[in-house]
Structures are given as structure tokens and as C-alpha cells.
């Protein structure tokens, strides 16, 4: 009996060791090595189509996507809210990347159903050539208890912007991708969509939707040559409400973050992409599995402190 328990114990230890070793090698391969060896989809990116559509493309992560995809030789459709910023980014990309075509579409995704006929009209002549869709647009509510959000319309707006934009654009562009049997859909979720997200309940829930939708869509489309990726960033240095815009080792610049996403292209269905965010995702999901109530307590105190600091900063 003692011998059996001993053999079982050693077996379990070896299994866990092998799993840890696999996770470490896989982390290194998907984060750096595969891209260096050309095993990701970047070398074949133009095979998917000559145009890419990026939402929320005039600032932050979306702008970095537009710039880096243009640098790879793709024509870009910039979809965002402010016509002046669209014009500015379009000119910047055209200046930096000669020969690249840039089209702009100004819509406010918080408006809901009314914007999609316009988007369809603007994009229809490119349907056959659009190979890449980056569903990036997103917005946040103030970090506070849900009962303190003053206006109910804000919930419609965040759901329209973070969720409906992705679902409607995917539904609009997927039929042409299926016909060609190739396409690449990159959906930007957030680490807030995993684990607990107190005081950001609505934002976290919209991002959990993005993650679930993307993973299910990836499974649905795999056999049709369409690659879908769920990207789960931690903090990135942007002007998203509540962020300072400053970068550090754990808060990458938008350029560094998008480079990390592109390195992971086609390798992982669900990834935080940037090395530090990947470690964060791994440990939070592991702790969430083993000690959920401890993670809940730690998250409440961490986000509570952040919210307090943000309030102090806005009052100053």
C-alpha cells in the first residue's frame, strides 16, 4: 500500500514537472522564438487579403495596429469617431508608407444599430479584398461601484462600443472571408475580462464577452481557413480613461504591445501576448482556480486603491 502511494506521488510529481517544463518552453516559443523562426502568420499576412480594417484606429493600440499593418504592405481602413483625427492618422500613414492606400470611415460605435448600414456601404466594394479585421475599439466607465454610475444610457453605450461593434463587423466581413477560405480576425479583450473585475463590472463583463465570443468563433471557423485570436492585454500606455499614458516594464508602449501581438499571430487562440501580461494571466488564472476567494479579496483591495488614487489625481 505504502509502495503504491509512493509510486502515485512520484508519478504526479513527474506529470506536474513535465507540465511546468512544457508551459515554460511554450511561453518562450510563442512569445519570441516562433516569430524569430518565421513560424507565425506574419510572413504570410498578405496572403489573407490586401486590406485590413482596424476599429478605434486613431489612437492607442488601434493606431499602432494600423501603422504596423501598413508597414507590412497592407492597405488600411481606419474606423473611428473623430473625422479630424482620422484625417490626421490617414495622412501620417500615407506619408510614412508610400503606395499604401488608406480609407477612413467616421462612425461613433456607441450609437448602436444606426451606424452599420453606413459601414456596409463604405466597405462593400472591398469585401473580397479584406483579409484582416482588428476589432479594437473599446471604452470604459469610471472605476466605481455600479450603483454610483449616474446615467443608464452609459451601459448601452459601452455595450454597443465594446461588444456590438465586434459582433456586427465580424458578421459583416466573415461571409466574404469564408468564400475565399481565408481571413484573420483579431479581437481586443482585456485581462479585466478574466477573473474578478470589481468596480469595473460592466467593462469586465464586455471583455469577458469578447474573450468567449472569440474562442468560440475560432473553433467554429478553424476548418474554413479563418484564424481568430482573443487578445487579453493588461495595462498598455494609452489615453484610455483612467490610464496615465506612461510606459514601464509592466505597462508597454502601444508599439511594443502590438509587436508582441503580431509575434503571436496564428500561434495562440487566446493570449495576453506581451511577456509580463502573459505571466500575469497565467498566475491569476492558476490562483483563481485554487484560491478564488483570496484572489477576490486581493483584486478588491488593488482596484479600490487604484480607484482612490485616480480620484485624488482628478481632484488635484
- Name the residues annotated as catalytic: 203
Residue 90, Cβ neighbours under 10 Å: how many? 19
**Residue (173 or 272) nearer to ligand NAP, CB:** 272
Of 167, 208, 215, 243, the one binding ligand NAP (CB under 6 A) is: 243
* Pairwise CA distance, residues 211 & 209, whole Å: 5
| 62 contributes a contact to ligand NAP by CB under 6 A | yes
Residue 300: CA atoms inside 13 Å, Cβ hemisphere, count? 7
* Pairwise CA distance, residues 165 & 273, whole Å: 22
Q: Which range binds ligand NAP by CB under 6 A, 29-37, 118-126, 228-236, 268-276?
A: 228-236
| 56 contributes a contact to ligand NAP by CB under 6 A | yes
In the window 153-192, what residues touch ligand NAP (CB under 6 A)? Answer: 161, 188, 190
Which residues touch 30 (CB under 8 Å, ≥6 apart)?
A: 264, 267, 268, 271
Are 132 and 170 in contact by the 8 Å Cβ rule? The answer is: no
* Pairwise CA distance, residues 229 & 289, whole Å: 23
Q: Which range binds ligand NAP by CB under 6 A, 39-47, 133-141, 214-222, 260-268?
A: 133-141
**Residue (34 or 280) nearer to ligand NAP, CB:** 280
**Residue (139 or 230) nearer to ligand NAP, CB:** 139
Handedness of CA 115, 117, 122, 124 (dihedral sign): positive
| 230 contributes a contact to ligand NAP by CB under 6 A | no
Task: Quote the least distance from Cβ 206 to ligand NAP, whole Å.
Answer: 8
Q: How many residues bind ligand NAP (CB under 6 A)?
A: 28
* Pairwise CA distance, residues 245 & 249, whole Å: 13
In the complex, the residues that contact ligand NAP under the rule CB under 6 A are: 56-62, 80-82, 85, 108-110, 136-139, 161, 188, 190, 233, 235-236, 238-240, 243
Amino acid at each position: 500500500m505504502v509502495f503504491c502511494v509512493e509510486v502515485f506521488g512520484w508519478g504526479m510529481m513527474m506529470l506536474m514537472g513535465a507540465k511546468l517544463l512544457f508551459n515554460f518552453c511554450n511561453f518562450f516559443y510563442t512569445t519570441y522564438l516562433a516569430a524569430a523562426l518565421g513560424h507565425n502568420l506574419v510572413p504570410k499576412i498578405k496572403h489573407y487579403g490586401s486590406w485590413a480594417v482596424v476599429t478605434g484606429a486613431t489612437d492607442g493600440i488601434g493606431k499602432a495596429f494600423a501603422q504596423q499593418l501598413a508597414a507590412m504592405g497592407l492597405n488600411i481602413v481606419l474606423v473611428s469617431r473623430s473625422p479630424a483625427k482620422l484625417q490626421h492618422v490617414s495622412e501620417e500613414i500615407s506619408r510614412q508608407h508610400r503606395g499604401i492606400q488608406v480609407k477612413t470611415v467616421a462612425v461613433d460605435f456607441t450609437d448602436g444599430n444606426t451606424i452599420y448600414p453606413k459601414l456596409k456601404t463604405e466597405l462593400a466594394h472591398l469585401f473580397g479584398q479584406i483579409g484582416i479585421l482588428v476589432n479594437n475599439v473599446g471604452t470604459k466607465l469610471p472605476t466605481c461601484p455600479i450603483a454610483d454610475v449616474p446615467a443608464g444610457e452609459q451601459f448601452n453605450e459601452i455595450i454597443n462600443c465594446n461588444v456590438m461593434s465586434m459582433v456586427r463587423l465580424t458578421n459583416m466581413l466573415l461571409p466574404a472571408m469564408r468564400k475565399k477560405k481565408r481571413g484573420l480576425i483579431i479581437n481586443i479583450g482585456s485581462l479585466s475580462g478574466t477573473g474578478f473585475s470589481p468596480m469595473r463590472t460592466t467593462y469586465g463583463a464586455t471583455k469577458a464577452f469578447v474573450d468567449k465570443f472569440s474562442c468560440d468563433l475560432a473553433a467554429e471557423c478553424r476548418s474554413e481557413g479563418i484564424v481568430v485570436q482573443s487578445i487579453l492585454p493588461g495595462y498598455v500606455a494609452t489615453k484610455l480613461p483612467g490610464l496615465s499614458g506612461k510606459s514601464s516594464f509592466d505597462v508597454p508602449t502601444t508599439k511594443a504591445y502590438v509587436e508582441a501581438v503580431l509575434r503571436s499571430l496564428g500561434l495562440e487562440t487566446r493570449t495576453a501576448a506581451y511577456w509580463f501580461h502573459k505571466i500575469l494571466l497565467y498566475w491569476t488564472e492558476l490562483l483563481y482556480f485554487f484560491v478564488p476567494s483570496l484572489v477576490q479579496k486581493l483584486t478588491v483591495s488593488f482596484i479600490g486603491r487604484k480607484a482612490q488614487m485616480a480620484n485624488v489625481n482628478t481632484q488635484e
